[in-house]
Amino acid sequence: MEVRKENRNIRDNHRRLLAEKFELKRNFFKALVRDPTLPQEMRELHAYKLAKLPRNSSFTRVRNRCVFTGRPRGVYQLFRMSRLVFRSLASQGLLEGIRKASW
């Protein structure tokens, strides 16, 4: 079970790197495809080039996952960990500047 969680995080990290690598090219092709002043042939050519980019280079394929457990839901973006791990680490006092509220 542990190997599967690790693979998910590795796959997600690979997608993040690809999305970052192709971000400029993808945005350029998208802008050209959406431009109504360009001839239709040119727009179709750039739509083809956009389709030829790797699927995993799209930001919609990136999923926020907990770096400890690989959990895809309930992940705090700032800490990149799930709410469950966050709560346990905060209770143990292992997170700098985080304290349980009490009043």
- Regarding whether 41 and 31 lie in a shared domain, the answer is yes
CATH number at residue 94: 4.10.830.10
- Regarding whether 7 and 50 lie in a shared domain, the answer is yes
Structurally, the chain folds into a number of domains equal to 2
- Regarding whether 70 and 48 lie in a shared domain, the answer is no
pLDDT value of position 1: 56
- Regarding whether 76 and 54 lie in a shared domain, the answer is no
- Kind plus residue range of the DSSP H or E element containing 90: helix 83-92
The burial of 86, by beta-carbon neighbours within 10 Å (0-12 exposed, 13-18 middle, 19 or more buried), is given as: buried
Domain span including residue 24: 1-63
d(CA 60, CA 80): 17
Phi first, then psi, for residue 75 (nearest 5°) are -105, 125
Range with lowest mean pLDDT among 1-5, 18-22, 59-63: 1-5
66 by DSSP, 3-state: which?
coil
- Regarding whether 56 and 78 lie in a shared domain, the answer is no
- Regarding whether 90 and 72 lie in a shared domain, the answer is yes
How would residue 2 be classed by pLDDT, with cut points 50, 70 and 90?
low
pLDDT value of position 103: 76
- The pLDDT tens digits of the residues spanning 62-85 come to 999 998 888 999 999 999 999 999
- Regarding whether 58 and 19 lie in a shared domain, the answer is yes
Q: What percent of the chain has pLDDT over 70?
A: 96
- Regarding whether 83 and 46 lie in a shared domain, the answer is no
Is residue 55 predicted with pLDDT exceeding 60? yes
pTM for the complete prediction?
0.75
